């Protein structure tokens, strides 16, 4: 059984439907990523796949082989697996942020590279990614039917994540 650090509340679930950074059209976000010189952290299968298709190479990837709670299309799954060699495998239940997820992201930002395959759900991984982000890094994730969200790493992202994490239930 996984030991969860944080568990989302219904009120917070509604709040987190709003972008945590700049909402960009997917094409604009991909252009930023292609030209970015620092660490790129991509959260979500669709986000990773779109980055790879655009020629961007994220150094930190978190994926769960699901998109909108459905199995990722085989060609997308194959592209991600081909890029994300030797992933770290962690468990993270839906609606939670586990110890393992936090530790994996902390190590990823220390090494400035890691591929993390999540058994369960990676949707909330953007928050610990913000906590461990470095100045000059960017975090990207998909905003369903709207585009991609870009978060600039560093102290402001860490402060925002800490404020939001304080609203979670401690599990």
Q: What pLDDT sits at residue 170?
A: 83
How many CB atoms lie under 10 A from the CB of residue 149? 21
Output the pTM of the full model: 0.94
Burial class (CB in 10 A: 0-12, 13-18, 19+), 65: middle
Q: Give me the phi and psi of 147, to 5 degrees please.
A: 145, -145
How many CB atoms lie under 10 A from the CB of residue 147? 17
Under a CB-based contact definition with an 8 Å cutoff, are residues 127 and 92 in contact? no
How far apart are the C-alpha atoms of 78 and 64, rounded to whole Å?
13
Note down pLDDT in tens along the chain; length 171 residues.
345 689 999 989 999 999 999 999 999 999 999 999 999 999 999 999 999 999 999 999 999 998 887 899 999 999 999 999 999 999 999 999 999 999 999 999 999 999 999 999 999 999 999 999 999 999 999 998 999 999 999 999 999 999 999 999 987
Domain chopping of the chain, boundaries: 4-170
How far apart are the C-alpha atoms of 18 and 1, rounded to whole Å?
31
């Amino acid at each position: 059984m996984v030991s969860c650090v944080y568990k989302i509340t219904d009120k917070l679930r509604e709040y987190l439907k709003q972008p945590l950074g700049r909402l960009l059209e997917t094409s604009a976000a991909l252009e930023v990523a292609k030209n970015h010189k620092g660490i790129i952290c991509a959260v979500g299968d669709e986000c990773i796949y779109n980055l790879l298709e655009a020629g961007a190479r994220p150094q930190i990837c978190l994926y769960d082989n699901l998109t909108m709670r459905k199995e990722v299309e085989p060609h997308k799954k194959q592209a991600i697996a081909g890029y994300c060699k030797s992933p770290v495998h962690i468990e993270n239940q839906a609606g939670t942020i586990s110890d393992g997820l936090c530790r994996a992201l902390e190590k990823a930002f220390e090494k400035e590279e890691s591929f993390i395959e999540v058994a369960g759900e990676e949707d909330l991984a953007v928050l610990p990614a913000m906590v461990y982000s470095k100045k000059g890094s960017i975090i990207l994730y998909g905003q369903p039917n709207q585009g991609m969200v870009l978060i600039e790493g560093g102290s402001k992202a860490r402060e925002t994540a800490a404020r939001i994490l304080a609203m979670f239930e401690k599990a």
